[in-house]
Amino acid sequence: MNLRALGRSGLSVSPLCLGGNVFGWTADEATSHALLDRFVERGGNFIDTANVYSSWVPGHVGGESESVLGRWLRGSGRRDRVIVATKVGMDMPGLGKGLTRAQIERGAEDSLRRLQVERIDLYYAHEDDAKTPLEETLAAFDRLVRDGKVRAIGASNYTAERLEAALTTSAASGGARYECLQPNYNLMDRAGFEGALAAVCERRQLGVATYFSLASGFLTGKYRRAEDAAGRARAGGVKRHFTERGQRVLDALHATATRLGSRPATVALAWLMAQPAVTSAIASATSTAQLDELLDAMDLRLDAAALQQLGDASAG
């Protein structure tokens, strides 16, 4: 299956994927629905969420993001215009952590109910489960595909070795295989994906949808010093990047954005979208103004000089 044609009526996934981790958390329901409306109006169609979003918030139990998205899907009438991805496998209250047959099957039913859809377009294993045989995990996913409850499956947070093993297992059984990898990949986090993981995706022809595409906000241009991140929801993730290399990347981003009349966040996403292995870059926003910056990346083509400058600054 080609990831670029996952949706109904042959929709091709947009190069920007809207991250739903903020829905019902740092973006309330009204704001989340406004973001979804703007995303579709400007040509986006790929939406990413997970059953565990946002269980980390006091008083939340998980499923909040899926429920917010589900009410938008029902009320907007735009189900046929979007590709919905969700996940199972991380520690979900009432379901636990893992990829056993029971957890996958119940997780899917719960997600279908919250999303108010008949089928999930892309269903990810949110993280690897080494305690459960790959045969059991993949058979459960295959059953969901055969039953029409899931269109395609993907993997997140897998090593190259485990991803290769999973693909080999699916080929041996003739069942559904992972069609997409969701790795942590951005200008600051390159080593974990480039190399073995990227090679597996290229050789096996998997799509790639990157998460933390803006390095937890570090690449948005909002921060020039570690102190600027104080009090932010992901302050820890931002502060760890304030190194000599991080400063080089920020300087290159700002210089490129100034030269091209763009914004640092737009440039950072455009760099990702220019990488041959990347199908779509996942990023979230809490206002339509922020979202517009992200969406602009779909129309920004970085020239050779910009790609060279950003690549050199982020190397190492």
How many helices (H) does the chain have, and how many strands (E)? 11, 8
Q: Alpha-carbon distance 154 to 86, whole Å?
A: 10
Strand 207-210 to 16-19 pairing: unpaired
Q: What angle do CA 114, 116, 119 make, to 5 degrees?
A: 105
Per DSSP, the residues of 71-114 read HHHHHHS-GGG-EEEEEE-S-BTTTBSS--HHHHHHHHHHHHHH
Q: How far is CA 210 from the centre of its chain?
A: 5
First-to-final CA distance of the chain = 35
The tokens for 235 are 């302050």
CB atoms within 10 A of CB 278: 21
Q: 53, 123, 178, 185: which one is catalytic? A: 53
Catalytic annotation present for 185: no
Active site residues: 53
